[in-house]
Structure 1
Amino acid sequence: MIHFRPFRNSDPPALVQLWNLAVPESASARPLRVHELDDHAFNPVIFDREGLIVAERDGRPVGFAHAGFGPDEAAPDRPFQLDTEMGVIAMLAVGPADDRPEITEGLIVEAERYLRRKGAKVLYGGGRLPLNPFYWGLYAGSEASGVPSSHSQFSATLSTLGYEPISTAVHLHFDLGRPDPRDPRAAVLRRQFDVAFEEDPLPSTWWENAALGAFHPMRAELRSRGDEAVVARAWTWDMSWFGREEGRARLGVFGVEVEPEHRRKGYARYLLGEVLRDARERGFQTVEVQTLTENEPALALYEALEFEPVEQSTLFRLPAPFPDRSRP
């Protein structure tokens, strides 16, 4: 008999075992130790024990789902304020021996009930910045975007329950053992701009600080030598928890941005080339980025830099009106 219940303080040892068994290594931090999963996913101030649902058989946890909310972007100066109108099921992990609909689907349904009790009017499966609570830094690549294609248990369960894919992100890697990609404008831009790297800068949002503060974030800026104006920027963080078993230190890149009046001048390509060189000097072996499949300029940029696609993640949404999943 399967029993669903909220999180208990004694659960992390069993939940980390489920994580290491059920969440695919290709797009997650694995293997995790108990204090790592506990500190990063279960201890943040926004954690609500009712939103982490555990499936139990004979008193033994056999799976869990985790649901929550993103930040209230209408109140950016008020930390820890959440937008409870949009809910997300951020995680599903069920051990291989118990991968059956009564558990996987039951966990998703219980997560839906939690979100709706809290006021959610839109339900997502997976997540995307900023609707990515708890697992940025542990799951789905450099931006914790959607459900990775390798996590078929999660995506198949969402699809069975009527969730529809609404967008796809591509994960791309650059192997730092390869030569730097050639940039025909690098020599000219090097005379016009400086690249500044700032370690552990003040975060741009409290959300990013909560997610990545422990992963040594760094900001890279392209600054004009004339007036020190910043024309492009990018953020990086240490993803070395990903791919632990392969032993390759990985750096994540996100928030690549060029000021609107300076776009299409090769500045993003030059800045990212400098990020690759800095990453190699600091001992990293792989750099990861993500972008949406419909973002053709970004895909063209990463192709020019010789990044290679390695994974995709899908964001799901449950169409309204919500189906009736009342308890029997």
Structure 2
Amino acid sequence: MYRLRAFRNSDPPHLAAIWRSQPAQRGILQPISPPLLEYAVFSKLNFERGGLIVATRDDVPVGFVHGGFGPTDDGLYLDTSLGVTQMLMVQGGSETEAPLADDLLRASEEYLRGRGATVLYAGGVNPLNSFYLGLYGGSEIPGVLQTDHILRNAAQRANYREIDRVLIMQCDLARVRPPVSRELRAIKRTTQLIEKIDPEPKTWWEACIWGSLQRDVFSLFDKTQNRTVATASFWDMQPLSTCWGMTAAGLFDLEVDAKFRRKGYASYLLGEAIRVLRRRGVTTIEAQTMATNEAARDFYLKFGFTEIDHGVVFRKESTH
């Protein structure tokens, strides 16, 4: 038999051991250590001890689940109406522990409902993405990885419904050749590339997400309009990319002013950012997009990205 209890300060070595016992998966960092969990989970501004629930047998942790919340629209506070089970692991990642996984998920739901959650998600996805970045998924938290059978199957048994899929795409910078055209040459003449490393977080929630992670933001400043018309934001995908044996940058935001879309600005900006990152030794860029966003998917494919994995976004309405 096992019992469930809230997180204790003595738990990190045991949780790391449970994590290390999982089957090998591309999107789950291995090996992991307590300091890495501290870096990506426990040290976060919005970490709550009650949301991390540990299952023990004979006082030894054998599984855990982590529930949390998203931000208010302005990013200044926690919005407890949106609850998410961020992570669920059992010792060995074995399907024979399905009853334990189900009980852990149920305990996470009870915690989230108790704090006021009316909508529940399984697997973090923007903006419910403040934990495990750098340890799970890739350039962003992609919901539940398709290979994460424990949480995926538990969510399905608990009647969560799949509302979307997240495509995980990578681009080998040794092979990519940024496009060249008359349109892009015209953009080069009228814009200036500006880079800002580690910009200050704009909101409390941005600080919760990024913490000490290094970001690199490239902007296109249009000299004729005297304003920024496009931005591309990357981060150094450590430590997850280390276990892939590559130096990877995660593209987590690509925005173009509405008046400048479909005119080549995104292609030009991404191409210029790639040139800079490649000179610094970055070998791979990873990006994610919703499967239903066909325009974004087609843009990445034309640029040389290939789909390497996917995650599933699960949701259900909370009932009391």
What band does the TM-score fall into relative to the shorter chain? over 0.9
> Secondary structure of the equivalent of 1:309?
strand
**Map of 2:131 onto structure 1:** 134
Structure 1: distance between partners of 2:17 and 2:300: 36
Structure 2: distance between partners of 1:145 and 1:207: 18
Alpha-carbon offset, residue 318 of structure 1: 2.0
Alpha-carbon offset, residue 65 of structure 1: 0.5
Matched, 1:181 2:208: no
**Map of 2:228 onto structure 1:** 230
Structure 2: distance between partners of 1:320 and 1:112: 8
Where does 1:167-178 land on structure 2 (aligned, <5 Å)?
167-178=164-175
Identity of aligned residues (%): 37
**Map of 1:92 onto structure 2:** 88
User: Retained in 2: the 8 A contact 1:88–1:124?
Assistant: yes
**Map of 1:19 onto structure 2:** 19
Matched, 1:199 2:197: yes
Structure 2: distance between partners of 1:119 and 1:23: 34
**Map of 1:215 onto structure 2:** 213
User: Retained in 2: the 8 A contact 1:125–1:315?
Assistant: yes
Report the CA distance shift for 1:250/1:33 in structure 2 as closer, same or farther (over 3 A).
same
Structure 1: distance between partners of 2:137 and 2:156: 18
Summarize deviations over 1:129-149 as a string: whole Å, max 9, x none.
Answer: 111232233222212121111
Alpha-carbon offset, residue 253 of structure 1: 0.6
Q: Which consecutive segments of 4 or more residues in structure 1 shift more than 6 A? A: none
User: Retained in 1: the 8 A contact 2:117–2:318?
Assistant: no
User: Retained in 2: the 8 A contact 1:125–1:158?
Assistant: yes
Alpha-carbon offset, residue 277 of structure 1: 1.5
Summarize deviations over 1:146-174 as a string: whole Å, max 9, x none.
Answer: 11112122111111111111111101000
Structure 2: distance between partners of 1:320 and 1:199: 41
User: Retained in 1: the 8 A contact 2:129–2:209?
Assistant: no
**Map of 1:326 onto structure 2:** none
Counterpart of 2:294, as a letter, is E
TM-score (norm 1): 0.92
Summarize deviations over 1:259-286 as a string: whole Å, max 9, x none.
Answer: 1111110111111111222221111111
> Secondary structure of the equivalent of 2:241?
coil
Counterpart of 2:307, as a letter, is P
**Map of 2:119 onto structure 1:** 122
Alpha-carbon offset, residue 217 of structure 1: 0.6
Matched, 1:64 2:64: yes
Alpha-carbon offset, residue 24 of structure 1: 5.1
**Map of 1:10 onto structure 2:** 10
Counterpart of 1:4, as a letter, is L
User: Retained in 2: the 8 A contact 1:172–1:310?
Assistant: yes
Alpha-carbon offset, residue 202 of structure 1: 1.6
Alpha-carbon offset, residue 307 of structure 1: 0.4
> Secondary structure of the equivalent of 2:131?
coil
**Map of 1:106 onto structure 2:** 103
User: Retained in 2: the 8 A contact 1:25–1:243?
Assistant: no
Structure 2: distance between partners of 1:39 and 1:169: 25
Alpha-carbon offset, residue 226 of structure 1: 2.8
Structure 1: distance between partners of 2:93 and 2:47: 28
Structure 2: distance between partners of 1:97 and 1:310: 22
TM-score (norm 2): 0.94
Comparing 29-38 with 280-289, greater Cα deviation is found at 29-38
Matched, 1:83 2:76: no
> Secondary structure of the equivalent of 2:159?
coil
Where does 1:286-301 land on structure 2 (aligned, <5 Å)?
286-301=284-299
Unaligned runs of 5+ in 2: none
Matched, 1:155 2:187: no
**Map of 1:257 onto structure 2:** 255
**Map of 1:325 onto structure 2:** none
Alpha-carbon offset, residue 321 of structure 1: 4.2
Structure 2: distance between partners of 1:98 and 1:128: 25
Matched, 1:273 2:271: yes
Counterpart of 1:209, as a letter, is A
**Map of 1:55 onto structure 2:** 55
Counterpart of 1:91, as a letter, is M
After superposition, the CA RMSD in angstroms is 1.8
Counterpart of 1:244, as a letter, is T
Alpha-carbon offset, residue 320 of structure 1: 5.2
Q: How many residues align?
A: 318
Alpha-carbon offset, residue 97 of structure 1: 6.5
